[in-house]
Amino acid sequence: MADNHNHTHGANKRVLLISFLIITSYMIVEVIGGFMTNSLALLSDAGHMLSDAVSLGIALLAFTFSEKAANASKTYGYKRFEILAAVFNGVTLILIALYIFYEAFQRFTNPPAVATTGMLVISSIGLAVNILVAWIMMRGSDTKGNLNMRGAFLHVISDMLGSVGAIIAALLIIFFEWGWPDPLASVLVAVLVLRSGYYVTKASLHVLMEGTPQNINVDEIVQTIKQEKEILGVHDLHIWSITSGLNALSCHVVVEEKMTIAESEKLLRKIEHDLEHKSIQHVTIQLETAAHKHDNSILCTVKANPPDAHAHHNH
């Protein structure tokens, strides 16, 4: 499992680097073109492409930082840096959408002249660039399982939709001489951008809050552990994600008093093997007998003590 995680990690880094170079190169062209043509649809697309370049760069840095080894102050290493990058990408998408809404409202009330030919050419090239980058990401990286990668991918997809909106707006202005398609295209794109930003941010915050991974069923995990005949009970269960694709579990398991160390190690290996097939890669289990003081609840019921409390409470 660890080798597979490292292989996916390396593939994600390569794809991000290629995508970053392509997006950054064209971003310069589109930003200049957006200002020259005075199109909000194109400017919003250009601004979004600029954020793409920044988000891809940050996502790339996140993968690099997450490779740093664990130490005494960071016992899990820097793997969570990927999730922080995903939060940044999600919040950036939301802010971009809100800014586009604001600008579109201004232009609905006072539509400016737009250089439609330049707008059409630049947005068409932008669409081609985004399709290329999205294709590279889909083929060579984990855009579904890795939150950091998904955030970067959604930036590119929403940017692609921005290019489509700008193209349609340019054609409507050329053929019908309407002023409203430009800001309307921007609003439609902003809605999609806002939706993407919301879901990436929500999923990332869920990981930071150490919530149960979306692909994990707690009841199923408990039954997987309890299926071993030596186990009398399970309590103080925690399941969380360290980073995308790396889930962890800790719990207390009640066993018979007469179990030897060799028998308990054999039991632990069996449980670890079963849980690995349930997408849990890091397992910590405390074995104890029925005599050990504990609560019968599956989940942890221990409350944090006030700073001045000195009493010791067992799990």
Question: Do residues 163 and 216 share a domain?
Answer: no
Tokens for 123?
A: 């947005």
Question: Do residues 246 and 135 share a domain?
Answer: no
End-to-end CA distance of the chain: 31
pLDDT of residue 305: 63
Choose one of 190, 208, 226: the last residue of a domain: 208
Question: Do residues 262 and 155 share a domain?
Answer: no
| Cα–Cα distance, 131 to 56 (Å, whole number) | 16
Place of tokens 């632990």: 268
Segment 142-194, tens digit of pLDDT:
777 777 678 778 878 877 887 888 788 888 888 887 777 778 877 877 887 78
| Cα–Cα distance, 107 to 190 (Å, whole number) | 15
Question: Do residues 187 and 261 share a domain?
Answer: no
Q: Which domain holds residue 180?
A: 2-208
Burial 213-222 (b: 16+ CB within 10 A, else e): beebeeeebb
| Cα–Cα distance, 234 to 286 (Å, whole number) | 10
Question: Do residues 48 and 117 share a domain?
Answer: yes
Tokens for 37?
A: 């043509």
Q: What is the CATH number of the domain that holds 194?
A: 1.20.1510.10
Q: What is the CATH number of the domain that holds 243?
A: 3.30.70.1350
Question: Do residues 173 and 283 share a domain?
Answer: no
Choose one of 208, 231, 263: the last residue of a domain: 208
Place of tokens 């002023």: 179
3-state secondary structure 77-108: CCCCHHHHHHHHHHHHHHHHHHHHHHHHHHHH
Instruction: State the number of CA atoms in the 13 A half-sphere of 230 facing the CB.
Output: 18
Structure letter (DSSP) for residue 125: H
pLDDT of residue 5: 52
pLDDT of residue 58: 74
Question: Do residues 193 and 236 share a domain?
Answer: no
- Based on C-alpha coordinates, what's the Rg of the chain? 26
Q: Write the burial class of residue 175 (CB in 10 Å: 0-12 exposed, 13-18 middle, 19+ buried).
A: exposed
Tokens for 4?
A: 């597979």
Question: Do residues 169 and 287 share a domain?
Answer: no
pLDDT of residue 101: 87
Q: Write the burial class of residue 168 (CB in 10 Å: 0-12 exposed, 13-18 middle, 19+ buried).
A: middle
How many domains are contained in the chain?
Answer: 2
| Cα–Cα distance, 115 to 35 (Å, whole number) | 10
Question: Do residues 218 and 202 share a domain?
Answer: no
| Cα–Cα distance, 36 to 164 (Å, whole number) | 19
Choose one of 181, 208, 235: the last residue of a domain: 208
pLDDT, one tens digit for every residue, the chain (315 residues): 445 555 566 777 888 888 888 888 877 777 677 677 776 666 666 666 766 777 777 777 777 777 777 788 887 778 788 788 888 878 888 888 888 888 888 878 777 666 678 778 877 888 898 899 889 888 877 777 777 678 778 878 877 887 888 788 888 888 887 777 778 877 877 887 788 788 888 988 998 998 998 889 999 999 999 998 889 999 999 999 988 778 999 999 999 888 899 999 999 999 999 999 998 989 999 999 888 777 767 877 666 665 554 444 454
Question: Do residues 204 and 264 share a domain?
Answer: no
Task: State how far Cα 52 lies from the chain centre.
Answer: 15
Question: Do residues 15 and 140 share a domain?
Answer: yes
Question: Do residues 297 and 309 share a domain?
Answer: yes
Phi, psi of 242 (to 5 degrees): -75, -45
Global pTM? 0.72
